[in-house]
Structure 1
Amino acid sequence: MTSTGTNPPPASPPRAGGPPASAAWELLLPAVSAPPRRRGRALRSALREAVRSGRLPAGTRLPASRELAADLGVSRGLVTEAYEQLTAESYLRAGRGSGTWVSDAVRPSAGRARDLSPRAPGARVDFRPGTPDLALFPRSAWASGHRAALDRLPHGSLGYPDPRGLPELRTALASLLTRRRGVVADPERVVVCSGVAQATTLLGFVLRGRGATAVGVEDPGSPEHASLFRSTGLTAVPLTLDGEGLAMGPLLSSGVRAVVTTPAHQFPTGIAYSAGRRGALLDWARATSGVVMEDDYDGDFRYDRAPVGALQGLDPEHVVYTGSVSKSLAPGLRLGWLVAPESMTDEIVARKRTMDLGNPSLDQAVLADFITGGGYDRQLRRCQRAYKERRDALTGALAAHFPGAEVSGISAGLHIIARLPRRYGPQGVFLRLAEEAGIALRSLDSCTAQRPGRTGDAGGCGTDQDGGGGDGTVRLVLGYAHLAPSAIENGVRLLADTVLAQGRRDGCSPAVGVAAAAGD
């Protein structure tokens, strides 16, 4: 055996009855132990991977085919075929009388793929909002649904789908949304999307194509709305809220003719738009020929009464309705929907076609069966019971461990707004202590376009480390759906213990907390 370079050192001596003790050649041993019919393919694959990984670096001279065959205990023809194939693929290079070498055209792979999913690595407790309890996903029913869908689907259904979605799913969604959310849903105007994110992008491209340059977004609100619209070439214009919803004065003066809203349960403030504000918003849309995008992200989860019906049901020609299974089943399914006004349907469908040719047919068929068979309604009831219990656990834990804490917003959804008295502030210090203790939090101020002491357009809504609440209070957006009641209780207790312990170290009484704030 030889090694790298023009003047190679002596090769490692062969072991008795086996190949030399070279790590690179030992990589080939599992390949040659494969069954005879697969041995050639396995050898080529192993040799190719050794080059890709850098275990055989560029410039390495390979043994003669006869020598390597003897070391590995295979036929010379098997090795010759592997050398010829990898030379043709440019992994190796060979010249008459000069042997076979690892080509310098191959760059070693970068290693394992990184996981960039939005998690909080290392957090002991994660109170950030937006994630359902993924353990509630109906694995058995979904697996059975896959088998049943495969058995019944005709072969043609596995071809390129209607970009709007499978007709059976659009029909099932139209019935579901009409029954549960009061949506005016014609199956011909339902478009199956990869979640609300894609629905937002589709609408943004269509608005841009119609000449729009800006779209209004709620402030505070979901930063994803602003970033998705910006990706389509539109400017996101922050519009302030009041106690009834989107404030009409700033909307009228902004000049925008499109706005995105979360009227059933505004994110993050937790309010529900009043009947008067819903009517005023639709009057604005009619008067300006404007468009309202309704993001009904958690409209099914109301705990104190029946959910308020969708805004779209009042004027389906001026409201684009969007939703998904991300909170009811799992965000990883990437299944959502858009109900388009008749005047925009063709443009939205055309953009969907060029974007991805449609969503996977099998997943759509499974969801259609899950809805029509009653499984989806059962899942919603199961989630509603669990999430109400967890909301109660969080509000109770806050009252017990943070006396004076106030919870605002309607009894709905997967998050609450908690306002802690000034004695627990300042907010920046509070958030830093939580992070050091391994508690992931999100501040309400981080969901605003204009953070206290900062300027800039809509963004953030991550862990906020600035001065925070302005008035000295700590204002948090706390998610609870993904946490068991015991984990919620333990997390709030840990947070309180962390803050009060710092107060003691600073020489304050436990009732004062981390900073002595005058007047509270």
Structure 2
Amino acid sequence: MAQNWTTSDLALALALPPGRRPGEQLQTALRDAVRQGVLDDGDALPSTRELAAALGVARGTVVHVYEQLGAEGYLVARPGGRTRVSSRAVPPGGTPPSPPAAAPAGADLRPGISDLRRFPADDWAWAYARAARGAGSHDLDYGDGLGHPAAREAIAGHLRRIRAASTDADHVVLCQGFAQGFALVLPALAARGARVLAVEDPGDRGVDAAAAAAGMELAPIPVDAHGIRTDLLDRAGAHAVLVTPAHQSPTGVVLSASRRVELVEWAGRSGGWIIEDDYDSEFRYDRQPIGAVQGLAPDRVVLIGSASKTHAPGVRVAWMAIPGELIDDVAARRIAADRGGPVIDQLAFAALLQSGRHDRHVRTMRGVYSARRAVVLQTLDRISPGLTLTGLVAGFHGVLRLPSGVREEGVVAAATDASLRIAGLAAFTRHRRDLPPALVLGFGNIDDEAVVEAILRLGDVIAAATPRR
């Protein structure tokens, strides 16, 4: 029979394994208690605040453990009610559930990965149910390559409201991630004579293959403290340029107002195209997110955004605000590529936008990342005041410049040996040889407790690699 566990009873019943972080201890103990029948189907657990006080751990640690075990199927939480042991946790016969697939080993300090533990599963379950119930038979046929009209309308409104974009549903094309959108747009530009694509250096090397497939030559353009060097676009003979103006990837600098104007003027003067990768602009900490460049020149800019950073990379919903000249071409290429996108996914995301659930999740995660950013900076200061992290006005990564004399590739290799998943700045460069050794440090997909340990471990790696004077 299900019972309501008191805080003291549960604290005594849990066998916390020694030698681990408190979060890992509690997670293992609760999971074992369910498997061994100490906690039975439907048993109600104490609140996170009560259990945290009883065990002497941070409340956030207990919240994370409850969320993790909920995702694994051991616990279930209902709004306004207590967290309970899931009726599916131990099937009849007492056979414990299969353990979840093991995550890749090591603390995740890679840039560009959002906090996958905080994926709003309940919101998405609600949105999918709403989309499936509301979709008519006519909605479920193959589409026209643009995406469902209702979803395009919702996303166009979102872009006008949040990104100051100048667009409407007729100029929005839905796709399944930035990579697909980029791969659809480039051939359309090539068909209009574009042969040279300017790219930021350092910048995302993942676009190189798509450019080659479209028959385009890459022209790396240096990035400085004000963003991409727009004065070099003419000299490079660029016909199109890929930029990350809101939070340059990976340096984190924001394209200055004067450079934005110069970029738009270049496009108007040369007939060039701007592809704006709007990958994490909603996570701005010092002010409201800066409006998209697309709002300044909607007839020359392709704005591409996605749910990969706000929700998770596994959510394959993305969008492009496209000049009218390109719409039919891109839509036809989408049909040829995959017969159109997943309608239910598009309608579910539209439901999140229209209900306010998306905005609520972004606000929550903006607070989470801002607080974690502070933890990272405090920990770095503990290690050495000389270690500074730059590019932190937005997003969930920064650039950590290494001390003089330290070899970047050596630190990356040693960090890997120390079970740290991390990237060096050199992995983002093409022709640049003037950049100092640095790491691109992500703090999205790691909790506050783990990130402290990971930074301390990284500090040991850097200290071991630093030449003694």
Shorter-chain TM band: 0.7 to 0.9
Matched, 1:206 2:185: no
Q: Where does residue 485 of structure 1 map in the other structure?
A: 448
Give the conservation status (yes or no) of the 8 Å contact 2:143–2:341: yes
Give the number of equivalent residue pairs. 368
Q: 1:498 to 1:221 in 2, by over 3 A?
A: closer
- Residues 458-469 of structure 1 aligned to structure 2 (within 5 Å): none
- Provide the C-alpha distance between the structure 2 equivalents of 1:146 and 1:440, rounded to a whole number of angstroms: 33
Report the Cα offset of residue 451 of structure 1.
5.7
Deviations 1:75-121 (A, max 9, x none): xxxxxxxxxxxxxxxxxxxxxxxxxxxxxxxxxxxxxxxxxxxx994
Q: Tell which has more relative contact order, 1 or 2 (C-alpha 8 A, sep 6+).
A: 2
Q: CA RMSD in A?
A: 1.8
Give 3-state SS (helix, strand or coil) of 2:423's partner: coil
Give 3-state SS (helix, strand or coil) of 2:314's partner: helix
Give 3-state SS (helix, strand or coil) of 1:302's partner: coil
Give 3-state SS (helix, strand or coil) of 2:400's partner: strand
Report the Cα offset of residue 401 of structure 1.
1.1
Matched, 1:261 2:243: yes
Give the conservation status (yes or no) of the 8 Å contact 1:229–1:235: yes
Q: 1:219 to 1:306 in 2, by over 3 A?
A: same
Give the conservation status (yes or no) of the 8 Å contact 1:434–1:440: yes
- Provide the C-alpha distance between the structure 1 equivalents of 2:321 and 2:211, rounded to a whole number of angstroms: 18
Report the Cα offset of residue 365 of structure 1.
1.2
Give the conservation status (yes or no) of the 8 Å contact 1:328–1:380: yes
Q: Quick one: which of 416, 423, 434 aligns to 1:442?
A: 423
Q: 1:251 to 1:296 in 2, by over 3 A?
A: same
- Provide the C-alpha distance between the structure 2 equivalents of 1:436 and 1:451, rounded to a whole number of angstroms: 27
- Provide the C-alpha distance between the structure 1 equivalents of 2:138 and 2:348, rounded to a whole number of angstroms: 16
Give the conservation status (yes or no) of the 8 Å contact 2:408–2:439: no
- The TM-score normalised by the length of structure 1 is 0.68
Q: Where does residue 31 of structure 1 map in the other structure?
A: none
Q: Quick one: which of 418, 428, 431 aligns to 2:409?
A: 428
- Name the amino acid aligned to 1:437: A
Give the conservation status (yes or no) of the 8 Å contact 1:215–1:235: yes
Matched, 1:516 2:468: yes
Give 3-state SS (helix, strand or coil) of 1:322's partner: strand
Report the Cα offset of residue 429 of structure 1.
2.5
- Provide the C-alpha distance between the structure 1 equivalents of 2:234 and 2:277, rounded to a whole number of angstroms: 21
Give 3-state SS (helix, strand or coil) of 1:333's partner: coil
Deviations 1:231-289 (A, max 9, x none): 22212221112221111332110111100000011001110011000000110000001
- Name the amino acid aligned to 1:269: T
Q: Where does residue 141 of structure 2 map in the other structure?
A: 159
- Residues 289-368 of structure 1 aligned to structure 2 (within 5 Å): 289-368=271-350
Report the Cα offset of residue 515 of structure 1.
1.8
- Provide the C-alpha distance between the structure 1 equivalents of 2:130 and 2:351, rounded to a whole number of angstroms: 9
Give 3-state SS (helix, strand or coil) of 2:133's partner: helix
Deviations 1:34-58 (A, max 9, x none): xxxxxxxxxxxxxxxxxxxxxxxxx
Report the Cα offset of residue 364 of structure 1.
1.0
Give the conservation status (yes or no) of the 8 Å contact 2:402–2:408: no
Matched, 1:496 2:448: no
Give 3-state SS (helix, strand or coil) of 1:263's partner: coil
- The TM-score normalised by the length of structure 2 is 0.75
Deviations 1:63-85 (A, max 9, x none): xxxxxxxxxxxxxxxxxxxxxxx
Which stretches in structure 1 are left out of the alignment for 5+ residues?
1-118, 453-468, 503-512
Q: State the percentage of identical aligned residues.
A: 36
Give the conservation status (yes or no) of the 8 Å contact 2:222–2:432: no
Which stretches in structure 2 are left out of the alignment for 5+ residues?
1-101
